[in-house]
Structure 1
Amino acid sequence: MTNNFVFESDLNAKTIHIQREFHAPVEKVWRAWTEPALLDKWIAPQPWRAETKTWDFSTGGIWLYAMIGTDGTKRWVYAQFTAIDAGSSYSTMGMFCDAEGNPIETAPKSYRVNKFSSLEGNRSMVDTVITFEDESTIRMFAEGGFKEGTAMSLANLDELLAAE
């Protein structure tokens, strides 16, 4: 069973393109990406886990969550939903923050567009483009284990979809 994982970084354009197939209908995949109880089950690469503190899935709404390490260390992430086309796409602006959602002054911002589509055979595709503000940030993500962590998280999602 192949998932056709694509991870391409373009340092000049300051973008990362991620594409991944899932063996589940697009409605089920959409729910897994847009319901916090489901997101918390797969978004963190193991052995990390995720915990949502705030969730408002509306344009201008906020998702505040922590990635929690095995020692209890929390890395807080703030994402603001900038556009939502229910069932087919949503966009966010994200950055690292403190536990209250206050941005870390030196934290880089990223802009993400997630598009969902149906494929033959009751499968679906998620196509993501992440744009960064500066070259040092794209380099950090492109060269610092983000690809491997993303692959692990999406494998977690495969397991969740199979169990649902």
Structure 2
Amino acid sequence: MKSNLLMNFTVNKENNTVNVKREFNASLPQVWSAWTEPQILDLWWAPAPWKSQTKSMEFKEGGRRLYAMVGPEGEEHWAIADYTSINPTTNVKWLDAFSDSEGNLNKEFPRSDWNVTFSEKDGSTFVDIVIKHEKLSDLEMIIQMGFKEGFTIAMEGLDAIFAGEEK
């Protein structure tokens, strides 16, 4: 199901950032919940056919989400999101990293700094995501790992959830 909703994905190599602007056909409270509640996050955060499974999540400043991306063969890739700032329904920031199942950092992969802003306009909700990397090689590694393709699939999974909620 191809979406006609806005999806801009830009890479800025000068600033080591990825910027994603995405429109959703859902209310601001629905979109905020989808990004901040583990039971909804797990429905879309991994690109199909992969699944997201949250092991623990404390959604507060200084809190952490520990989760796995589980593949079709049962393979697991663990990750953490350390929440650094939360402004309800408008902005959330976290440091993202690969980890083991106990939340210990995997230092072979770079951490990324996520800044996600939510706004509503004309019945749509817009999510503006800035993902900053420490150095260009970190950014390039994530892009080569297929971040754009995977994240695009995940966004379409979220569209499907909202389409189902509205029926």
TM-score greater than 0.5 by the shorter chain: yes
- Give the whole-Å Cα distance in 2 for the aligned partners of 1:143 and 1:3: 25
**Which residue in 1 is equivalent to 2:34?**
32
Distance 2:5 2:90 in 1: 19
Which consecutive unaligned segments of at least 5 residues does structure 1 have? Answer: none
1:1-164 aligned within 5 A = 2-120=4-122, 122-164=123-165
CA distance in 2, matches of 1:62, 1:73: 22
Q: Deviations over 1:91-131 (max 9, x none)?
A: 001111000000113231110000000010x2110000000
Q: Percent identity?
A: 37
* Offset of residue 162 of structure 1: 1.4
CA distance in 1, matches of 2:73, 2:108: 25
Could you list the structure 1 runs, at least 4 aligned residues long, displaced by more than 3 angstroms after superposition.
none
TM normalised by structure 2 equals 0.94
Secondary structure (helix, strand or coil) at the match of 1:78 reads: strand
- Aligned AA for 2:118? F
- For structure 2, list consecutive stretches of 5 or more residues without a partner in the other structure: none
User: What displacement does 1:143 show?
Assistant: 3.6
Distance (Å, rounded) in 2 between the aligned partners of 1:92 and 1:45: 20
Tell me whether 84-93 or 104-113 shows the greater mean CA deviation: 104-113
**SS state of the match for residue 13, structure 1?**
coil
Q: Which amino acid aligns with 1:157?
A: L
> Normalised by the size of structure 1, how large is the TM-score?
0.96
